[in-house]
């Protein structure tokens, strides 16, 4: 039995995750949710006390036009989830029901709505902030969290199709956003150490689609645009990226016309916390019964 299915099987057997019949789509127990909620409070406690982010919670779907504008389909077409609906009349409905009854593919008649599932918590943010006009002198700082969708069915519990990402996003001058990212690379390691997990910082690249995507990934890595905190979840040899620190340069600024107070194109950076992945790492390391977790870890989470 490989470690991946082993952890998933143990989590399902313990009732911490609940099987829905689809790989990567699980219910969460109250205990699992409590760990996520407590870890989010610990994130708050590790955030700089003098910075006051604007808290926004977007729902798990975003404006399709904004999604199209983001360029996501260029980089990760295989991961996106568009939302489609039935838009027909009563006769169409009768045909639809007959198709379902006969086991046919009734989904072909579904039409795309204006909604696309959020691929990363910060994607809905940039166009919304750009619409407000230039950033204030100090730049912008935002606190986000939402369910995100990625179409990559897998038995690896750390690769869910629907999972939550907490994010802080910084917008401003290159200096402002680089300082933010450096600061969080430090804070992130302290945060993970506080819950008794081994952590390793490394440069990384996104899983861009296709052969051209390979080159994009190499370039991203060479320019050190993406760092990740790797933590053992299903394997100590192949660690899982649980936090990522991304410098987008002026990509979103140019895309959405986002400017600094001085009228320059804004640069942006984000730090993202994979909440399910971190929670899985905690259960993998400290055991499936939170009552048995080390005293210092319990104190960090439950006070």
- 47-66 positions binding a second copy, by CB under 8 A: 54-66
Give the binding range for a second copy (CB under 8 A) out of 6-14, 29-37, 187-195, 217-225: 29-37
**Residue selected from 2, 6, 45, 74 as contacting a second copy according to rule CB under 8 A:** 74
Give me 178's structure tokens. 């680089």
Check residue 215 for interaction with a second copy (CB under 8 A).
Answer: no
Contact code string over 99-138 relative to a second copy, x by CB under 8 A = -x----xxxx-xxxxxx-x------x--xx--x-------
Q: Which of 19/202 has CB closer to a second copy?
A: 19
Number of C-alpha atoms within 13 angstroms, CB side, residue 227?
A: 20
Question: How crowded is residue 280: how many other Cβ atoms within 10 Å of its Cβ?
Answer: 28
Query: CB 43 → a second copy: shortest distance, Å?
Result: 14
Q: How many CB atoms within 10 Å of residue 6?
A: 12
Which tokens hold the place of 20?
Answer: 């829905």
- Least distance in angstroms from the C-beta of 201 to a second copy: 29
Any contact of residue 214 with a second copy (CB under 8 A)?
Answer: no
Contact between 13 and a second copy per CB under 8 A: no
Residue ranges in 142-181 that form contacts with a second copy under rule CB under 8 A: 143, 147, 149, 151, 153, 160-163
Residue 30 binds a second copy (CB under 8 A): yes
DSSP class of 259:
B
**Total binding residues for a second copy by CB under 8 A?**
73
Q: How far apart are CA 299 and CA 37, in angstroms?
A: 14
Geometric angle at alpha carbon 23, from 19 and 27, rounded to 5°: 35
Q: Which two tokens stand for residue 10?
A: 């143990």
Using the rule CB under 8 A, give the single segment among 21-29, 195-203, 219-227, 266-274 that binds a second copy. 21-29
DSSP state of 150: -
Q: Whole-angstrom Cα distance, residue 105 to residue 278? A: 38
Say if CB 141 and CB 168 are below 8 A apart. Answer: yes
CB of 173 to a second copy, least distance (A): 25
Distance CA 303, CA 292 (A): 15
Provide, rounded to whole angstroms, the least separation between the CB of residue 47 and a second copy.
14
């Amino acid at each position: 039995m490989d470690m991946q299915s082993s952890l998933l099987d143990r989590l399902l057997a313990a009732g911490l995750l609940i099987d829905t019949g689809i790989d990567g789509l699980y219910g969460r127990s109250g205990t699992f949710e409590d760990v996520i909620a407590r870890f989010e409070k610990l994130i708050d406690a590790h955030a700089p006390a003098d910075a006051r982010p604007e808290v926004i919670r977007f729902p798990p779907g975003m404006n399709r036009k904004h999604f199209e504008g983001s360029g996501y389909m260029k980089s990760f077409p295989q991961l996106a989830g568009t939302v489609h609906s039935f838009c027909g009349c009563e006769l169409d409905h009768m045909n639809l029901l007959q198709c379902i009854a006969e086991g046919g593919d009734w989904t072909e008649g579904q039409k795309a709505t204006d909604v696309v599932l959020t691929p990363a918590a910060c994607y809905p943010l940039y166009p919304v902030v750009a619409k407000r006009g230039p950033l204030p002198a100090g730049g912008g700082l935002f606190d986000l969290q939402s369910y995100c969708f990625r179409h990559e069915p897998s038995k690896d519990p750390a690769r869910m199709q629907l999972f939550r990402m907490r994010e802080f996003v910084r917008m401003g001058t290159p200096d402002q956003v680089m300082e933010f990212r450096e600061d969080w690379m430090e804070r992130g390691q302290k945060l993970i150490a506080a819950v008794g997990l081994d952590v390793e910082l490394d440069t990384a690249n996104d899983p861009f689609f296709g052969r051209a995507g390979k080159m994009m990934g190499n370039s991203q890595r060479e320019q050190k645009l993406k760092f990740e905190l790797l933590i053992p979840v299903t394997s100590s040899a192949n660690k899982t990226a649980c936090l990522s620190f991304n410098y987008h340069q002026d990509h979103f600024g140019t895309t959405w016309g986002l400017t600094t107070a001085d009228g320059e194109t804004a640069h942006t950076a984000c730090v993202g916390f994979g909440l399910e992945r971190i929670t899985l790492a905690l259960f993998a390391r400290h055991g499936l019964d939170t009552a048995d977790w080390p005293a210092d870890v319990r104190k960090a989470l439950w006070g």
